[in-house]
Amino acid sequence: MGNVKTGQLDMGIKQQFASNYLDNKEECRRCWARNFCGGGCHANNYFRHGDISRPHEISCAMHKKRIEGAIYLDLQKRLGAR
């Protein structure tokens, strides 16, 4: 976002990060897991698409599977405790 040696900030990059939230992303607005991931990793998004606000599809799919697994294990734990 800038240069740590000179203290200069690139305000354009700062604004990109500040305006990058879930309601601005079409893919995220439609996703059931959006509140679990927050839009994914900015670095993955950038290196895949050249845009921090466009989610990386493979990362999204993997994250959804991890969330599904966590929900399943939590339910098993809760049901097994009865």
pLDDT digits (tens, 9 = 90+) for 4-34: 899 888 888 888 887 777 777 778 888 898 8
Name the nearest CA neighbour of 22 among 30, 14, 11, 12.
30
pLDDT at 61: 93
The answer to whether residue 69 is domain-embedded is yes
Helix (H, G, I), strand (E, B) or coil at 9: strand
The answer to whether residue 22 is domain-embedded is yes
Q: Which residues pair with 9 in a beta bridge?
A: 2
The answer to whether residue 38 is domain-embedded is yes
Backbone angles phi, psi at 9, to 5 degrees: -115, 140
The answer to whether residue 45 is domain-embedded is yes
Q: What is the residue range of 39's domain?
A: 11-80
Q: Which residues pair with 2 in a beta bridge?
A: 9
Its pTM stands at 0.70
pLDDT tens digits along 21-77: 777 777 888 889 888 887 788 888 889 988 888 888 999 999 999 999 999 999 999
Q: Is the pLDDT of residue 82 over 70?
A: no
State how far the Cα of 31 lies from the Cα of 8, in Å rounded to an integer: 37
State how far the Cα of 33 lies from the Cα of 42, in Å rounded to an integer: 17
